[in-house]
Structure 1
């Protein structure tokens, strides 16, 4: 009797230690699957909202789709003829190069100015920080069309504030400069408007990243004799790089498809052919000329070219996020 009870007493801890193992495995399995289950509805929503229109766009790019098809006529399948027409059109490549240059200038200036203002937010007093953040929110909330009307007033040839200031500080020839009637003037106003509208998001994201930099690390770098620039370059910047890369990628994508700013300025009478960017060029081919098949092919080509321009950026961003998680 005693031997049996002793054996049972000795076996009980082993049995109790072995029994919970399947439960632990089940919990780990559930924990590994649960994030994918939670994100599945979002993936499906994105696939329906973006995948279906992209599929329809690709199908239309293989068809001769014009005004007749808009009123019910059956489209004619032309295969890749629309793509051949677009890729062999010199004007498309001129617009593409012009758009890339515009994007490079606007995105670079936006990131530099946004980072400087974000750094400024970390140095000013609390009331000044709140006032600046409220101002940025108002700028962000203002519709692009309203913003363009204001910028057109500021750059008006006869009554604009910009020309008045330039004439007062030593440039008398700029007193009546027709900004909206010249190509360089249109791109200058458009770039300023794009940068102005992009700054709030850039500043908020970079400022949020700056607030997460540990003060202990900065103090240790200060004790090691690192100056402000060296601390920023070797300590702060590597820590906020993921946020900077994400907002930089968004800027590249957004600035490549600028439409409202250029379209509004083109209404002032400037040459459309000399000021078209990809967004307005696709609009004028599709809506303006009624060549929806050509416009769909052009939009698909632009999508592919955009991916080619940003794939290194995206790969580097994911690599840095993987290193940070490890």
Structure 2
């Protein structure tokens, strides 16, 4: 007589519970909830208030308690119908991508250079970069204004000494082109250290044996950089590049201070200073809020590609 084993049905595994009786998947959400609430309270209310204000006729009278009239999309129509807005928008985008591109190029090049330096020299360079990055914006602008001062500036004196007599008493801030050269130099100088630190940290995670093997196989420096280094640090490059674009499109302090030092605001306005002049300068808070919301929309469009890639990575994992 033979006995046949009866097949056993395995019960579906039950999800593990934490000590408190909650699923482990909820723990990160609970830990991040306080920070999320702080962001909602500190950023959500001003953003919602600004969105509502962009649909209202909100001026100086409303600041003193007079009810604001609802005008719908009139503020957006007035802003987009103004040719000055489109000039400022194009100028802001060109200036933003130029500064972000140069910042990334210089930052990545400096990070690659750090991998070739000795330890002592590398520490000195990193220390100098850290000081440049940690210097307050207004303090840095004071130095740059002194460098490009019309009468006593070091830059003008040096150029004249080299034989460029046309720079004797040259007013850098009066010309829009030279104004943005100075503004771009300030922004790039203060942004390069962060890019350098983040890219260098990611470079240290690349396996040196892979680079050595590629070199032995005859790969040039550019080929190693393109096919090994860039794919290895691509997430960091994407993140840092996106942050630079967002920061540079919202730039305000550098442009505003240089305008107060002699720049012509009509020729040097970017979106940040344009919003300030419409809202606080002219007292038209409704139109200023409309421009600010357009800035937010542009930022979201630029950020969407990176956010979508993060969502895809989360689904894969």
What TM-score does the superposition give when structure 2 sets the normalisation length?
0.90
Q: Point out where structure 2 has 5 or more consecutive residues left out of the alignment.
A: 1-7
Q: 1:217 aligns with which of 210, 213, 218?
A: 210
Deviations 1:257-309 (A, max 9, x none): 11111111111333211110000000000110111111111101121123224
Cα distance in structure 2, aligned partners of 1:118 and 1:88: 45
**What stretches of structure 1 of length at least 5 have no aligned partner?**
1-13
Match of 1:201 in 2: 194
Alignment pair present for 1:256 and 2:249: yes
1:21 Cα deviation (Å)?
5.3
Q: Quick one: distance in 2 between partners of 1:20 and 1:293?
A: 59
1:127 & 1:195 partners in 2: Cα distance? 25
Following TM superposition, by how much is the alpha carbon of 1:205 offset from its aligned partner in structure 2, in angstroms?
A: 0.6
Give the superposition deviation at 1:125: 1.2
Q: CA RMSD in A?
A: 2.3
Give the structure with the larger helix fraction: 1
Q: Does the C-alpha gap of structure 1 residues 241 and 165 become closer, same or farther in structure 2, counting only changes over 3 Å?
A: same
In the alignment, what sits opposite 1:26?
17
Structure 2 CA distance for aligned equivalents of residues 203 and 125 of structure 1: 17
Higher deviation after alignment, 253-262 or 222-231 = 222-231
TM-score normalised per structure 1:
0.87
| Equivalent residues of 2:16, 2:24 under 8 A apart | no
1:19-168 maps to which residues of 2 (within 5 A)? 22=14, 25-26=16-17, 30-168=23-161
Q: Who is 2:3 aligned against? A: none
- 1:246–1:317 CA contact under 8 A, matched in 2: no
Larger Rg: 1
Counting matched residue pairs gives 307
Verify the 8 A CA contact 1:245 1:317 in the aligned structure 2.
no
Cross-structure match for 1:267: 260
Write out the 4+ residue segments of structure 1 that deviate beyond 4 Å after TM superposition. 18-22, 316-319
